[in-house]
Structure 1
Amino acid sequence: MIVREVEEAALDWVWAHRDRFALGEDALAAEGQVNRTWKPLGELARVCASVATCTPPTDPLHIRVRDLLDFAWQQTRRGELFLLMQSLEPFATYPLEVYAAFASAGHRHTGYEASAAVVARTRGWRLTEQCPTRRLGVIEAERRSGLNPHGRVPQALDRTWLGGLPEPWTFERAAGYALTHVVFHLTDWGRTPRGVPPDLADYLLHWLPPWLDTCLEARMWDLSCELLAVAAGLPRPPEPAVLEDAWQRVAAARHASGAIPEEGVIQEESAGSAGSAGSAGSADGADPYAFTDCYHSTLMAAFAAALTTARLRDVDHAGQGVPG
């Protein structure tokens, strides 16, 4: 199964590079770069929480992602760092967004939740200026963390690019990432496909295939994997032929280590192919890409593949099958 092979290889790479997701001493520094500290860790937690949910407990991959999730939780000192961040940056939303990923998997810190609830009741929190997609994500993070959401999903959704059912030819990179995250928030990261309203589901069913083809043709592997995750999370997925072609192209884009670059041409000397899931690095032991150039796309490949594999178990193969 090509989808399963992509998932296994991607998680092999993540496991081999798990120390790169660890928090350093700059995690709480005022001048620290959140995108290089908390963002990778949060994305690791988010993907692992979702993959664990849609993978049977007897599956070896379930055990692996649970171990990765425990590793990530330990990096936060079992939630203690969220409480420290709350005192340092009380109106920053990213700590809650990262925490929500852990909370959705059962890792909770009551002290942080109590502190966050106090801040969330302030006008300053409710009035923080955010792009519409981010605001939708914060509302969902509040819900998953046991807080009272400061807004309603339908109203937040209406302000997003996807919620307005835009002209399909206005699709571009930024819009693509915005729409994927809108769907992730609406479906609780693939758990509830019915969370996508019928009009949005019909719109995506019609336009997702050409958008996906455009991204694959442009070698935008990261966004392509996010779109494949969207496809697997819709109430009704696109035609099997569309997904089969897309997964073949993603599989061909991966390095033998399992890593997938965010975009561009893969390393020619060790280009991956369907069924090749080599070692954690290239033939000479060196990583094929910089960590920041491939960790997110590799995580997204594992996420999309896990959702797709789960869909294989849930839909009628004859009528709505997805590639095996």
Structure 2
Amino acid sequence: MREARGTRQVAEDALAWVCAHRAQFALGEDALAADGQVNRSWKPLGELAQVCATVSRHTAPPDPLHTCATDLMAFAWQQTDGGELFVRLQRLEPFATYPLEVYAAMAAAGLRHPGYEAATATVARTRGWRLTEQEPTRRLGVLNAETRSGIRESDAMPQALRRTWLAGLPEPWTFEESSGYSLTHVVFHLTDWGRAGPDGVPPDLADYLTDWLPPWLDTCLDAGMWDLGCELLAVAASLPLLPELAVLQDAWARIAAVQHPSGAVPERGSGADHDSGPDFFTHYHPTLMAAFAATLTTGRLDDAARADTHQRPGGQGVLG
């Protein structure tokens, strides 16, 4: 399919830029420092692992995207000294959740450290851990991380979900940037970042998003909000019913138009910085999200094409 190939190209170019800049995802000497900048060290590394876990899950081993994603995941795991840094972080900040959230992304790809899991499970059994006050979306993320890491199974997801902006089915005109990021992450946690499939989204939320995500996406892209636009496209690819093909074609054409020749995608604006080259910290996240959303979209379009072929009279396949 021509549209699927175009989306696939966005993913290939985006992940190529990430591979070329992998050194900038490396943890520095301040990774364990009390005053270290988590948002410029552990956060980028965790987001790299999160996206690569999904890309590798949705691609086959001979696929260059799969090879690149698994290589990047191995790099990310190496940065944690095979999980040893998580153990040290847990001792320094036993009630911090970000180490578990980063670890969970790597555990999703089969990279495990039993010692860290045992130590964190002990802390997770305390009232202090369970009763820490968190925003509902963040709470969903922590609960999902606990499950992914084998720390503990919880029945608290539905309760946490119902406290989110999205679960309230708010008036569509109240959508804004902050609520947009909130709703995308709710869907990411419900679908385990695209690994569990669209069945994780409750029917009422899926119906609501089917109606309103296309105009929200169009609004964000009109405003040059490429990072949020890519996240919304990842949500679109995680719903039981995909948006109309014309909506996806238009959205991906606009993303492709602002993608730098190197593969980087800007957070917002025109992205016209070809002379100086893309700045890492303003481009790495939207570029990861472009690779993430494009991989999910390509997979769904390919699945739809195969289903259409199988349903045609005289077609060959599982129904042929």
The TM-score normalised by the length of structure 2 is 0.93
1:27 and 2:16 are equivalent in the alignment? no
After superposition, the C-alpha distances for 1:186-230 in whole angstroms (9 at most, x for unaligned) are 011112210000110000000000000000000000000000000
Shift of 1:185: 0.4
1:173 aligned partner: 177
The number of residue pairs the alignment matches comes to: 304
* Mapped partners of 2:92, 2:155: distance in 1: 25
Indicate the SS of the match to 1:74.
Answer: helix
2:269 aligned partner: 264
Aligned AA (2:259): R
* Mapped partners of 2:203, 2:306: distance in 1: 22
Deviates more, 1:163-172 or 1:110-119: 163-172
Change in 2 beyond 3 A, CA 1:109/1:318 = closer
Shift of 1:289: 2.5
Indicate the SS of the match to 2:261.
Answer: coil
**1:145-164 map, 5 Å:** 145-149=149-153, 152-164=156-168
Shift of 1:2: 1.1
Shift of 1:179: 0.3
Say if 1:229 and 1:304, in contact at 8 Å, map to a contact too: yes
1:66 and 2:70 are equivalent in the alignment? yes
Say if 1:120 and 1:150, in contact at 8 Å, map to a contact too: no
| Aligned match for 1:197, one of 191, 202, 212 | 202
Runs in 1 of length 4+ with deviation above 6 angstroms?
A: none
1:231 and 2:236 are equivalent in the alignment? yes
Aligned AA (1:162): L
Aligned AA (2:229): S
1:83 and 2:72 are equivalent in the alignment? no
The TM-score normalised by the length of structure 1 is 0.91
Shift of 1:149: 4.0
* Mapped partners of 1:61, 1:175: distance in 2: 31
1:297 and 2:302 are equivalent in the alignment? no
Shift of 1:150: 5.1
After superposition, the C-alpha distances for 1:134-174 in whole angstroms (9 at most, x for unaligned) are 00110000000001245511111000000111111110011
Point out where structure 2 has 5 or more consecutive residues left out of the alignment. Answer: 309-320
* Mapped partners of 2:56, 2:146: distance in 1: 21
* Mapped partners of 1:127, 1:245: distance in 2: 45
Change in 2 beyond 3 A, CA 1:240/1:22 = same
Indicate the SS of the match to 1:28.
Answer: coil
Shift of 1:313: 2.2
Say if 2:191 and 2:198, in contact at 8 Å, map to a contact too: yes
Percent identity (aligned):
69
1:211 and 2:216 are equivalent in the alignment? yes
After superposition, the C-alpha distances for 1:82-139 in whole angstroms (9 at most, x for unaligned) are 0000000000000000000000000000000000000000000001111000001100
Say if 2:140 and 2:189, in contact at 8 Å, map to a contact too: yes
* Mapped partners of 2:98, 2:215: distance in 1: 33
Say if 1:126 and 1:150, in contact at 8 Å, map to a contact too: no
Aligned AA (2:11): E
Change in 2 beyond 3 A, CA 1:30/1:294 = same
1:93 aligned partner: 97
**1:301-312 map, 5 Å:** 301-312=290-301
Shift of 1:290: 1.8
Indicate the SS of the match to 1:98.
Answer: helix
**1:33-44 map, 5 Å:** 33-44=37-48
Indicate the SS of the match to 1:148.
Answer: coil
CA RMSD of aligned residues (A): 1.4
1:277 aligned partner: none
1:241 aligned partner: 246
